Amino acid sequence: MRKFCDLSGRIAIVTGGASGIGRAIAFKLASLGATVVLGDVKLEELKNVVNEITQQTSSKVLPLYVNVGDFNSAKEFYQKATEILGIDYVDILVNNAGINRDALFVKMTFEQWDEVMKVDLYSMFNMTKQVVDGMIRRNYGRIINMSSMSWLGNIGQANYSAAKAGVIGFTKTLARELAKYNITVNAITPGFIDTPMTRAVPEKVRQKIIERIPMGRVGSPEEVANLIAFLSSEEASYITGEVIGVTGGLVL
Ligand SMILES: NC(=O)c1ccc[n+]([C@@H]2O[C@H](COP(=O)([O-])OP(=O)(O)OC[C@H]3O[C@@H](n4cnc5c(N)ncnc54)[C@H](O)[C@@H]3O)[C@@H](O)[C@H]2O)c1
């Protein structure tokens, strides 16, 4: 009998797979049987992650360079991935790669604004554009976009909040446009998850944030990956256009 959330035979792309949440997602999808194409700008780190996964699962995992903020790079990444795998579609896209460049707006530079927009928001267009035709053709798809609780607004994150709010508008629109092709599109809003991104937060600020989390602790990347695995599966067939938090109860 097929196991709950079995992803055997499915092909997934996960961006930002060299670290943090992306790494945990790759592990989870591979452990459920999916073939995973992992993209990141950090190719060496990516290869290490792929080695770890292939030691622990029997799934095929492919590390490939991609700069998700650049349309041509996304196009080359998809072309290379499909060529190597000998296919012309993927079933699952997890738009996970993201960065923050925090500063109060009065001090924020155009470069900080521009970089975050490219990696956190333009990436949605750049990556999704590659996969959507194949999904429509096959009448099947799962797209999961990484937003953040910061989409509600957060001091020092005008760039990041704007990009992550944009992700939600993008998700809800695509969900409507693609539902008739059996493609679901959902967004995740993690709260404070223990990754290199949040480890960069000064200890004092970190403690203050933790005090505001009803569960009294940071979340783990695996706790986010579990939700993504479910949304990637056939079992999540009637869930689309949703924005789902993984926050330990934190409300900004
Ligand atoms: N950690 C949290 O608390 C938290 C909370 C809310 C949302 N998020 C979101 O989750 C996602 C993953 O964050 P994380 O905490 O794992 O961060 P992370 O910094 O640990 O990992 C992000 C990965 O994305 C890669 N990346 C950066 N720019 C890229 C680019 N242009 N092209 C391809 N890859 C690129 C990095 O090399 C890195 O491997 C991000 O979108 C982030 O905004 C994280």
Residues 130-137, mean pLDDT to the nearest whole number = 98
Among 111-125, 139-153, 197-211, 216-230, the range scoring the smallest mean pLDDT is 197-211
Query: Is residue 141 in contact with ligand 1, taking CB distance under 6 Å?
Result: no
Query: Is residue 192 in contact with ligand 1, taking CB distance under 6 Å?
Result: yes
Q: What separation in Å is there between the alpha carbon of 52 and the centre of ligand 1?
A: 19
Pick the atom of ligand 1 nearest to 21's CA.
16
pLDDT, tens only, 19-76? 999 999 999 999 999 999 999 999 999 999 999 999 999 999 999 999 999 999 999 9
Atom 20 of ligand 1 has which residue's CA nearest to it? 20
Residues 72-81, mean pLDDT to the nearest whole number = 98
Atom 43 of ligand 1 has which residue's CA nearest to it? 98
Residues 131-159, mean pLDDT to the nearest whole number = 98
Question: Mind giving me the DSSP string for 48-94?
Answer: HHHHHHHHH-SS-EEEEE--TT-HHHHHHHHHHHHHHHT-S--SEEE
Report, at the CATH architecture level, how domain 11-243 is classified.
3-Layer(aba) Sandwich (3.40)
Atom 41 of ligand 1 has which residue's CA nearest to it? 98
For residues 28 and 57, what is the distance between their CA atoms, to the nearest angstrom?
Answer: 10
Query: Is residue 102 in contact with ligand 1, taking CB distance under 6 Å?
Result: no
The pLDDT, as a whole number, for residue 251 is: 80
Q: What separation in Å is there between the alpha carbon of 193 and the centre of ligand 1?
A: 11
Query: Is residue 19 in contact with ligand 1, taking CB distance under 6 Å?
Result: yes
Query: Is residue 161 in contact with ligand 1, taking CB distance under 6 Å?
Result: no
Residue to mutate (ligand 1; options 159, 192, 195; most atoms within 8 A of CB) = 195
Where residue 38 falls (left for φ over 0; alpha for ψ -120 to 50; beta otherwise) is: beta
DSSP alpha helix (H) spans, 109-245: 110-116, 123-138, 158-178, 196-199, 203-211, 221-232
Residue 252 has pLDDT above 80, yes or no: no
With pLDDT > 70 as the criterion, what percentage of the chain qualifies?
100
The pLDDT, as a whole number, for residue 43 is: 97
Q: Is 160 a catalytic residue?
A: yes
Q: What separation in Å is there between the alpha carbon of 247 and the centre of ligand 1?
A: 16
Domain ranges in the chain are: 11-243
Atom 2 of ligand 1 has which residue's CA nearest to it? 193
Angle at 23 between CA 238 and CA 112, to 5 degrees: 95
- Residue tagged active-site, from 122, 160, 181, 238: 160
Burial degree of 136 (CB within 10 A; 0-12, 13-18, 19+): middle
The pLDDT, as a whole number, for residue 141 is: 99
Q: What separation in Å is there between the alpha carbon of 19 and the centre of ligand 1?
A: 7
Contact criterion met (CB below 8 Å) for 10 and 22: no
For residues 237 and 160, what is the distance between their CA atoms, to the nearest angstrom?
Answer: 30
Query: Is residue 248 in contact with ligand 1, taking CB distance under 6 Å?
Result: no
